[in-house]
């Protein structure tokens, strides 16, 4: 079963980090070598994938049309759902990337007393937005560990994120939302029979991994506190490419770090590449102007055609009989 | 084909949107009567020079494939991954969120989970992972990969001919993953193995040879239009006299050939015949390029081009 397989993979990762630090004391390996290797793998892997996509030509100019096409000036057309210009495409892409617009259209198809019926279904959209935005906020907040002095913007985000002002240290919303959203997405994946049916280990694994990262982060911040001064020493030394791993940070930190490294390595080889792919998707990033401009297939092959002459040869007598003009008598 | 047409209630009562207990890779394909077309007859394929023309039936166990069908398939697939960014990208980035799952009319009408666009794509994606990704080669099933066997080929065929390339799924996908494009590409590969349906190969051959999918020959086109003109005259008292294959006309009018052949298309045709007459347009019909649709898209891109040529040539 994909669920258990993925779950145990994540547990295994946790155990590797735990024993690597608590039993073997491999601070340099887990604190410096693996993070660098993971970061390099991520960057190169991401780049190679995007280059691979970029090198493949786009012979079809067929964006998905979701509204009235541009025709005559006095007929209103759908500038965002069927863009005919670059500005329309940019608008469409911004809405897709920042608002998950297509997902917002989601419907649920069901059977109601033998009638097929449709109902609005926005939960995936909502959870997806919560998941991705909290991930983004967490990511930006973490820059404080790598930058010295900490930029004012990051401090602002921090204080907004902790505006509830509960707990010591202040509870940060983003981490909690990330964990809950990841758990909801997991819940949806297992409870919706259709989604469960299509799910692969590669779908459960990133959810468990990200939930694990969020959970270990939350534990580290609020429960089993780590020596944050030393953590910052390590992270700043990583950012300055010096890399020295102080001892005595606390094992939970290395578990957190190791899971993140796994995510980085896993990223370019998995569906998580949708982050890069969404920008290159030809059905979304092309203007629908094939009736305005002629687009020619880049390799434009020579093909065998049935010429008019051959057609006339086949049907000349019949054409003459029907009074259709012919070129050769 | 189906024996007798079932009533709507009979159809909806048999739909169950809950997938079966066995996983989709373990559920063998079942060619249900009435849900697939006849295999293309050899003459149609010969007309357009497609390979492996032979008598065959999808329900047969022996599809009379060429010896090296697997190599042909995989080689053609690899070539197309490099030639179509869409295909490569759509193989890589689906997150299986399921937003497209219940948007396909084939799924809505059958409840067969392999008719969910995402699973239709997974049928080929699993093959992609096995032969074109490192993870799939190493981890096999745990990476969602599977071997291309004869059964997998048949399953692909069965479900890739249950897609009308309507692109509704693409509207709902957050990344615009377009099953229609995947379907076109996979069917193109099928054509290299002589795996087409009679209902597609026939129109293609007709368009190629006769100019329209119904196979109307030039004199039939004119006489069909004559009938429509007679009807118009009877009702309105006006005799319209359109021209055919006239050089120098300002407009070449190309319409779906069904408009000349069956109701209700004929009413549409009568409508625009009258409209054009009223507007006094300088237009002409073509018997050579007498099909508005391009049936080639249901077989291969090159075939589409071979048919499109006719329209531009005539203009
Ligand atoms: C440009 C940036 C990104 C965009 C526009 C984007 C968009 C989306 C959308 C629309 C979905 C489908 C809805 C859903 O299931 O939530 C999705 C799913 C997902 N995304 Fe992203 N994403 C981006 C970056 C990322 C990053 C950086 C990660 C994590 C490292 C990520 C992880 C995931 C995961 C795990 C899922 C699947 C959730 C599930 O199992 O249902 N995404 N993404
Ligand atoms: S909507 Fe798009 S990303 Fe989601 S399962 Fe369907 S094809 Fe995949
Ligand atoms: S393009 Fe094919 S898979 Fe997608 S909704 Fe239409 S028929 Fe279904």
User: Rounded mean pLDDT of B283-296?
Assistant: 76
Q: Write down the pLDDT at residue B206.
A: 80
Query: Could you give the C-alpha distances from A222 to A141, A249, B77, B242, in angstroms and in order?
Result: 16, 15, 52, 84
Q: Write down the pLDDT at residue A306.
A: 82
- Rounded CA-CA distance A44/A33 in Å is 17
Please write the tens of the pLDDT for every residue from A238-286.
998 887 878 888 899 999 999 999 999 999 999 999 999 999 999 999 9
In chain A the first and final C-alpha atoms are separated, in Å, by 74
Q: How far, in Å, from the CA of A128 to the mean position of ligand 1?
A: 7
Residue B308: band (very low, low, confident or very high) from pLDDT cuts 50, 70, 90: low
Q: Which residue has the higher pLDDT, B209 or A134?
A: A134
B118 touches chain A (CB under 8 A): yes
CATH number at A3-298? 1.20.950.20
B132 touches chain A (CB under 8 A): no
B92 touches chain A (CB under 8 A): yes
Average pLDDT, chain B: 87
User: Rounded mean pLDDT of A281-304?
Assistant: 86
Point out the ligand nearest to the CA of residue A134.
1
Mutate to test the pocket of ligand 2, among B95, B104, B124 (most ligand atoms within 8 A of CB): B95
Q: Which two tokens stand for residue A128?
A: 């997806």
Q: Write down the pLDDT at residue B84.
A: 95
Looking at A77-81, B205-209, B305-309, which range is the least confident one?
B305-309
- Most confident by average pLDDT, A150-154, A261-265, B39-43, B55-59: A261-265
Match 């069917």 to its residue by tokens.
Answer: B187
- Delimit the domains of chain A by residue range: 3-298, 302-329
Nearest residue of B to residue A279 by CA position?
Answer: B175
Residue B245: band (very low, low, confident or very high) from pLDDT cuts 50, 70, 90: confident
Q: Please name the residues between 218 and 277 in chain B that touch chain A, using a CB distance below 8 Å.
A: 218-219, 222-223, 244-247
Q: Write down the pLDDT at residue B72.
A: 96
Residue B190: asked if its preceding bond is cis (omega within 30°), the reply is: no
Domains of chain B, each with CATH number or no CATH: 8-35+66-192 (1.10.1060), 214-290 (no CATH)
User: Rounded mean pLDDT of A26-48?
Assistant: 95
Q: Write down the pLDDT at residue B306.
A: 63
DSSP A223: I
Residues in chain A: 329
Q: Is a pLDDT exceeding 80 seen at residue A5?
A: yes
Nearest to B84 among A59, A193, A284 (CB): A59
DSSP string, B233-283: HHHHS------BS-TT-SEEE---GGGGTSTTHHHHHHHHHHHHHHHT--E
Q: Write down the pLDDT at residue A196.
A: 95
Looking at A108-112, A182-186, A241-245, B40-44, which range is the least confident one?
A241-245
- Rounded CA-CA distance B136/A214 in Å is 29
Q: Is a pLDDT exceeding 70 seen at residue A185?
A: yes
Nearest to B166 by CA among B107, B87, B110, B211: B107
Residue B226, classed as helix, strand or coil, is helix
The CA distance from B134 to the nearest CA of chain A, in Å, is: 9
Residue B1: band (very low, low, confident or very high) from pLDDT cuts 50, 70, 90: very low
User: Rounded mean pLDDT of B262-278?
Assistant: 86
Looking at A78-87, A161-170, B169-178, B268-277, which range is the least confident one?
A161-170
- Beta-carbon count within 10 A of B213 CB: 25
What ipTM does this complex have? 0.91
* Torsion, Cα of B101, A189, A187, A108 (10° steps): 0
**Cβ distance of B89 and A280 shorter than 8 Å:** yes
Contact B169, B117 (CB under 8 A): yes
Q: Is a pLDDT exceeding 70 seen at residue B313?
A: no
Please write the tens of the pLDDT for every residue from A117-173.
898 899 999 999 999 999 999 999 999 999 888 889 998 998 898 888 887 788 889
Mutation target among A100, A135, A196, A274 for the B interface, most CBs of B within 10 A: A274
Residue B35: band (very low, low, confident or very high) from pLDDT cuts 50, 70, 90: confident
A204 lines ligand 1 (CB under 6 A): no
Percentage with pLDDT > 70 across chain A: 100
Q: Is a pLDDT exceeding 70 seen at residue B118?
A: yes
Give the number of C-alpha atoms closer than 13 A to the C-alpha of residue B201, restricted to the C-beta side: 26
Q: Write down the pLDDT at residue B300.
A: 63
Task: Give the helix ranges, DSSP H, for B140-238.
Answer: 150-160, 168-172, 179-192, 198-210, 218-236
Q: Is a pLDDT exceeding 80 seen at residue A71?
A: yes
Phi-psi region of A247 (alpha: psi -120 to 50; beta: other; left: phi over 0): beta
Please write the tens of the pLDDT for every residue from B217-229.
888 888 888 889 9
Q: Write down the pLDDT at residue B101.
A: 94
- Rounded CA-CA distance B40/B278 in Å is 44
Query: Could you give the C-alpha distances from A218 to A52, A221, B233, in angstroms and in order?
Result: 38, 5, 83
Nearest to B48 by CA among B264, B207, B176: B207
The CA distance from A32 to the nearest CA of chain B, in Å, is: 26
Q: Write down the pLDDT at residue B201.
A: 82
This prediction's pTM: 0.89
């Amino acid at each position: 079963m994909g669920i258990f397989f993925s779950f145990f993979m994540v547990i295994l990762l946790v155990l590797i980090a735990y024993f690597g630090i608590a039993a073997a004391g491999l601070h340099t390996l887990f604190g410096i070598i693996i993070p660098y290797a993971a970061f390099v793998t991520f960057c190169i892997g991401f780049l190679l994938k995007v280059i691979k996509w970029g090198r493949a030509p786009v012979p079809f100019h067929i964006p998905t049309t979701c509204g009235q096409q541009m025709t005559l000036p006095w007929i209103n057309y759908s500038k965002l759902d069927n863009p005919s210009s670059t500005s329309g495409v940019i608008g469409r892409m911004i809405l897709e990337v920042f608002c998950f617009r297509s997902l917002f259209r989601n419907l649920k198809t069901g059977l109601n007393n033998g009638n097929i019926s449709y109902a609005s279904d926005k939960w995936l959209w909502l959870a997806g937005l919560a998941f991705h935005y909290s991930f983004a906020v967490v990511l930006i907040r973490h820059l404080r560990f790598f930058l010295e002095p900490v930029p004012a913007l990051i401090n602002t985000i921090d204080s907004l994120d902790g505006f509830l002002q509960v707990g010591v240290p202040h509870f940060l919303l983003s981490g909690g939302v990330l964990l809950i959203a990841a758990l909801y997405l997991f819940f949806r994946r297992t409870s919706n029979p259709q989604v469960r049916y299509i799910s692969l280990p590669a779908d459960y694994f990133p959810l468990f991994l990200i939930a694990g990262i969020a959970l270990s982060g939350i534990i580290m911040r609020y429960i089993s506190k780590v020596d944050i001064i030393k953590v910052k020493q390590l992270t700043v030394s990583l950012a300055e490419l010096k890399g020295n791993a102080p001892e005595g940070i606390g094992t939970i930190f290395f578990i957190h770090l190791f899971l993140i490294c796994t995510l980085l390595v896993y990223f370019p080889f998995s569906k998580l590449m949708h982050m890069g792919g969404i920008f290159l998707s030809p059905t979304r990033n092309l203007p629908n102007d094939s009736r305005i401009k002629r687009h020619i297939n880049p390799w434009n092959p020579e093909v065998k055609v049935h010429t008019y002459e051959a057609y006339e040869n086949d049907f000349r007598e019949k054409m003459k009989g029907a009074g259709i003009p012919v070129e050769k008598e | 084909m189906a024996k007798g047409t079932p009533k709507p209630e009979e159809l909806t009562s048999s739909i169950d949107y809950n997938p079966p207990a066995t996983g989709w890779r373990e559920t063998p394909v079942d060619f249900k009567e009435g849900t697939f077309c006849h295999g293309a007859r050899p003459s149609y394929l010969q007309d357009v020079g497609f390979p492996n023309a032979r008598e065959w039936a999808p329900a047969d166990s022996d599809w009379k494939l060429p010896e090296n069908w697997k190599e042909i398939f995989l080689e053609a697939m690899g070539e197309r991954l490099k030639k179509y960014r869409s295909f490569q990208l759509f193989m890589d980035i689906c997150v299986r969120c399921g937003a497209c799952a219940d948007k396909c009319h084939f799924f809505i009408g059958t409840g067969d989970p392999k008719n969910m666009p995402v699973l239709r794509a997974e049928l080929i994606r699993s093959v992609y992972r096995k032969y074109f990704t490192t993870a799939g080669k190493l981890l096999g099933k745990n990476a969602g990969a599977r071997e291309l066997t004869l059964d997998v080929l048949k399953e692909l065929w069965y479900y890739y001919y249950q897609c009308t390339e309507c692109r509704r799924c693409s509207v709902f996908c957050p990344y615009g993953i377009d099953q229609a494009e995947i379907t076109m590409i996979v069917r193109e590969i099928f054509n290299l193995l002589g795996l087409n349906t009679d209902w597609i190969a026939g129109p293609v051959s007709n368009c190629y040879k006769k100019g329209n999918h119904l196979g109307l020959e030039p004199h039939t086109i004119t006489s069909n239009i004559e009938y429509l003109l007679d009807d118009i005259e009877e009702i309105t008292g006006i005799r319209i006299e359109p021209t055919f294959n006239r050089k120098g006309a300002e407009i070449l009018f190309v319409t779906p050939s069904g408009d000349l052949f069956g109701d209700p298309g004929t009413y549409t045709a009568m409508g625009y015949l009258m409209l054009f007459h009223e507007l006094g347009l300088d237009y002409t019909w073509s018997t050579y390029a007498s099909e508005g649709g391009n049936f080639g898209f249901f077989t291969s891109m090159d075939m589409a081009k071979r048919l499109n040529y006719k329209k531009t040539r005539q203009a």
